[in-house]
Chains A and B, each alone.
Chain A
Amino acid sequence: MKIHEYQAKELFRRYGIPVPQGDVAFDVQRAEQIATELIKETNNETVVVKAQIHAGGRGKGGGVKVVQGAAAANQAAAAIMGMNLITHQTGPEGKQVGRLLVEQGMDIARELYVGLVVDREKRQICLMTSTEGGMEIEEVAANTPEKILKAWFDPKTGLLPFKARELAFGLGLTGKQVGKGVKIMQALTELFIREDASLLEINPLVVTKQDDIIALDGKINFDDNASYRQKSHEEMRDATEENPVEAEAAALGFSYVGMDGDIGCCVNGAGLAMATMDIIKHEGGEPANFLDVGGGADAETVKKAFKIILTDDRVKAIFVNIFGGILRCDVLAEGVVGAVQEMGISVPLVVRLEGTNVDIGRKILADSGLKINAAADMADGAKLVVGLARG
């Protein structure tokens, strides 16, 4: 699950990580009000208005404006609120802005980078820092890898202070900046572990002319596997940022990812579901979706899956690819026939079943009198469904 910058900064505050003063606004009027209050409290006319969407590159896309005074903040907010923001992470369709973060401006001396990720190779958490704040970290890694300093730790011991100090000195922090930097890095590691983050990034982490170190930006993704013990995160969910079909599928216990093609897929198991899309493409077709209905697959499951697949009206044919194994294919076949009859599905269906009683299962499909094609094997099924989708 992803959250907005302003929500990440609220969490930073709770863990003692300094962030600029500011607040979120859902309309332009409130944005101006926040700006007025900020100017009064900080005695600083510089205000930053930032679009809140779940994507990076907002500044380049015109979603961040630094202005002087409350009236200018109002104008900036009016320009950004409701705009369709297109960045390299939103895709060409962009994202509509519905929330703004209004913050005090900072006297920036240096821009640094801090990020935490799970290092799958080392099976530890990796804390990455760089002197090249404000740049894409992938770019820094590709062009000047020596400018990235890393430390690894596990949740048992946490980030040891000496490792944090090594990074702080490596970043060129001096004097009282060192202690502040170490404190921030340790707070971030604590946040990462306690909140079950899967990714955490501050880009840039700035050193001000007053020697303060402040998170000017914030990005946090959470591990969905831990949502059962992170109930408070649910309040941070922004449904407008999520694909409604993916969310509906998730509520049913399915894993769904929409694609651009016209062949719907209903498969048990993630690996086989990916492989099914691959073989459709290999046969010259285009998959409409990835859909993993889970290890088993009974009649009720198949029915729900068809409903999800058919929310995409581009679907011209459906490929059901189930490796039963322990499940009996005759039971599966009856389930598919029942689902088609009950739902009155009009698009052609190709069903490939494998497992116990596969011959009886195929016969049930063939004898159903419905537009169901029983495939001999996976390759046959893929060829059939690609042909049917072409019409």
Chain B
Amino acid sequence: MTILVNKETRVLVQGITGGAGSFHTRQMIDAGTTLVAGVTPGKGGQKFDDKVPIFDTVAEAQRQTGANASVIFVPAPFAGDAIMECIETGMTLAVCITEGIPTVDMLKVRAFLEGSKTRLVGPNCPGLIAPPIKQKLGITPHQVTRPGRIGVISRSGTLTYEAIGQLTALGYGQSTCVGIGGDPVGGMDFIDTLTQFEQDDDTDAVLMIGEIGGTAEEQAAAFIKDNMKKPVAAFIAGATAPPGKRMGHAGAIIAGGKGTAAEKIAALKEAGVKVSPTPAELGKTLVSAL
């Protein structure tokens, strides 16, 4: 199986009528996703591209279509609310693509997630894609993926595509690729996702892409050392990043001397993880770890 999604996953899109929402809804349908509904408040009753029914609320969409996962393209000022609507409705999976959500809103979302049955992927991420079952919940270019048995986790969007592209070129397909996002406060982290891959019978190894900022990679390294039997390869972006500067992602900043690439690479190597020396050898490094 794949992780987080399966053949029974029924996807709705929050913000389906917006620019990014409509473009990527078409892409998701093209990729084979079971896309059953869209939500745009005030546009309930209409149909997207004459196919996908649109509802005013997530609850209504769920009742009418049995949707159990949501992909969120709602603009940043309203995205925190959209995620909480998803949680309240009892969606099993919320994937938030939106970039630029205020941290205070995400801290509220985290408090709201506590004790709920929803798993949150993102925000500020490309979402996830499971090539073996053709389910794409996000914006990853499915054209570069290939069904297979490698799991991919990443804090970065285009670097995820890079990793997938390199694996595919080497003939190694992917079981599930999860972009966990570049914000300081988000949903699933490396450990949550690694746990899923470790338990997944159809994943043989994991390629993990981290970057500067925070200590999630160091914690992941400790987790891998103690809990992972499957091989893990990694890359950390930002070895050349100067301290105190935010490198594009809200969460990519070396603060108070903490969160450097060097520390993360050392922790991962210490845990037995093969670390790719450059972003051009992501695929090669994973293959060498098998």
Interface segment out of the listed A6-14, A39-47, A165-173, A263-271: A263-271
A270 touches B215 (CB 8 A): no
Is residue A319 within 8 Å, beta carbon to beta carbon, of the partner chain? no
B104 touches A193 (CB 8 A): yes
Residue-by-residue, is A369-388 near B (CB-CB < 8 Å gives 1, otherwise 0)? 00000000111001000000
Is residue B216 within 8 Å, beta carbon to beta carbon, of the partner chain? yes
Looking at the complex, which one of B106, B237, B245 makes contact with A271 (CB distance below 8 Å)?
B237
Is residue B100 within 8 Å, beta carbon to beta carbon, of the partner chain? yes
A287 touches B102 (CB 8 A): no
Is residue B43 within 8 Å, beta carbon to beta carbon, of the partner chain? no
B156 touches A270 (CB 8 A): yes
Q: In B131-154, which residues have CB < 8 Å from any A CB?
A: 139-141, 143-144, 154
Interface segment out of the listed B56-64, B224-232, B276-284: B276-284
Find chain B residues with CB under 8 A from A223 CB.
102-104, 250
B237 touches A323 (CB 8 A): no
Known contacts A118-B103, A121-B214, A271-B157; decide if A225 and B250 are in contact (CB<8 Å): yes
A275 touches B279 (CB 8 A): yes
Residue from A154, A280, A281 with most neighbouring chain B CB atoms (10 Å): A154
A276 touches B144 (CB 8 A): no
B184 touches A270 (CB 8 A): no
Residue-by-residue, is A316-357 near B (CB-CB < 8 Å gives 1, otherwise 0)? 000000011110000000000000000000000000001110
Is residue B52 within 8 Å, beta carbon to beta carbon, of the partner chain? no
Find chain A residues with CB under 8 A from B143 CB.
325-326, 355-356
Known contacts A196-B104, A198-B103, A271-B182; decide if A378 and B280 are in contact (CB<8 Å): yes
A156 touches B252 (CB 8 A): no
Residue-by-residue, is A35-62 near B (CB-CB < 8 Å gives 1, otherwise 0)? 0000000000000000000000000000
A26–B158 Cα distance when bound, in Å, is 46
A257 touches B104 (CB 8 A): no
Write the nearest CB–CB distance from B101 to chain A, whole angstroms. Answer: 6
A118–B102 Cα distance when bound, in Å, is 12
Looking at the complex, which one of B103, B107, B248 makes contact with A274 (CB distance below 8 Å)?
B248
| Count of chain A residues with a beta carbon within 8 Å of a chain B beta carbon | 54
Find chain B residues with CB under 8 A from A103 CB.
none
B249 touches A271 (CB 8 A): yes
B144 touches A325 (CB 8 A): yes
A225–B261 Cα distance when bound, in Å, is 25
Is residue A149 within 8 Å, beta carbon to beta carbon, of the partner chain? no
Residue-by-residue, is B75-113 near A (CB-CB < 8 Å gives 1, otherwise 0)? 011000000000000000000000011111011101110
Write the nearest CB–CB distance from B148 to chain A, whole angstroms. Answer: 18
Write the nearest CB–CB distance from A322 to chain B, whole angstroms. Answer: 8
Known contacts A196-B104, A271-B156, A292-B248; decide if A355 and B279 are in contact (CB<8 Å): no
Please report whether the interface of chain A is mostly helix, strand, loop or mixed according to DSSP: mixed
Write the nearest CB–CB distance from A255 to chain B, whole angstroms. Answer: 4
Write the nearest CB–CB distance from B33 to chain A, whole angstroms. Answer: 15
Find chain A residues with CB under 8 A from B160 CB.
271
Is residue A272 within 8 Å, beta carbon to beta carbon, of the partner chain? yes
Known contacts A138-B257, A225-B250; decide if A270 and B182 are in contact (CB<8 Å): yes
Is residue A64 within 8 Å, beta carbon to beta carbon, of the partner chain? no
Find chain A residues with CB under 8 A from B245 CB.
257, 290
B157 touches A295 (CB 8 A): yes
Is residue A228 within 8 Å, beta carbon to beta carbon, of the partner chain? yes
A272–B161 Cα distance when bound, in Å, is 10
Find chain B residues with CB under 8 A from A209 CB.
none
B247 touches A290 (CB 8 A): yes
A121 touches B248 (CB 8 A): no
B104 touches A155 (CB 8 A): yes
A275 touches B241 (CB 8 A): no
| Closest B residue to A228 using CB positions | B77
Looking at the complex, which one of B106, B165, B240 makes contact with A287 (CB distance below 8 Å)?
B240
Q: In A237-291, which residues have CB < 8 Å from any B CB?
A: 255, 257, 259, 267-282, 287, 290
| Closest A residue to B252 using CB positions | A270
A124–B184 Cα distance when bound, in Å, is 11
Is residue B128 within 8 Å, beta carbon to beta carbon, of the partner chain? no
B100 touches A379 (CB 8 A): no
Known contacts A118-B103, A156-B111; decide if A270 and B242 are in contact (CB<8 Å): no
A120 touches B184 (CB 8 A): yes
B238 touches A274 (CB 8 A): yes
B242 touches A326 (CB 8 A): no
A274 touches B241 (CB 8 A): yes
Looking at the complex, which one of A193, A278, A279, A323 makes contact with B161 (CB distance below 8 Å)?
A323
Q: In B247-290, which residues have CB < 8 Å from any A CB?
A: 247-252, 256-257, 261, 277-281
Known contacts A287-B240, A290-B247; decide if A271 and B185 are in contact (CB<8 Å): no
B158 touches A271 (CB 8 A): yes
B240 touches A255 (CB 8 A): no
> Which residues does B use to contact A, with CB under 8 Å?
27, 76-77, 100-104, 106-108, 110-112, 139-141, 143-144, 154-162, 165, 182, 184-185, 209, 211-212, 214-216, 219, 235, 237-242, 245-252, 256-257, 261, 277-281
* Given A125-B107, A257-B241, A274-B238: 13 more A-B contacts, CB < 8 Å: A121-B216, A193-B104, A225-B250, A226-B104, A259-B240, A267-B158, A274-B237, A282-B277, A323-B161, A323-B165, A325-B158, A326-B141, A379-B278
* In the A-B complex, the 4 residue pairs with the closest CB atoms: A271-B156, A270-B248, A325-B141, A269-B158
> Which residues does A use to contact B, with CB under 8 Å?
118, 120-121, 123-125, 138, 154-157, 193, 196, 198, 223-226, 228-229, 255, 257, 259, 267-282, 287, 290, 292, 295, 323-326, 354-356, 377-379, 382
What are 23 A-to-B residue pairs whose CB atoms are below 8 Å? A120-B251, A125-B107, A154-B107, A155-B108, A157-B111, A196-B103, A223-B104, A225-B103, A226-B103, A259-B240, A268-B158, A270-B182, A271-B154, A272-B237, A273-B248, A274-B238, A274-B252, A275-B159, A278-B238, A278-B279, A281-B240, A282-B278, A378-B280
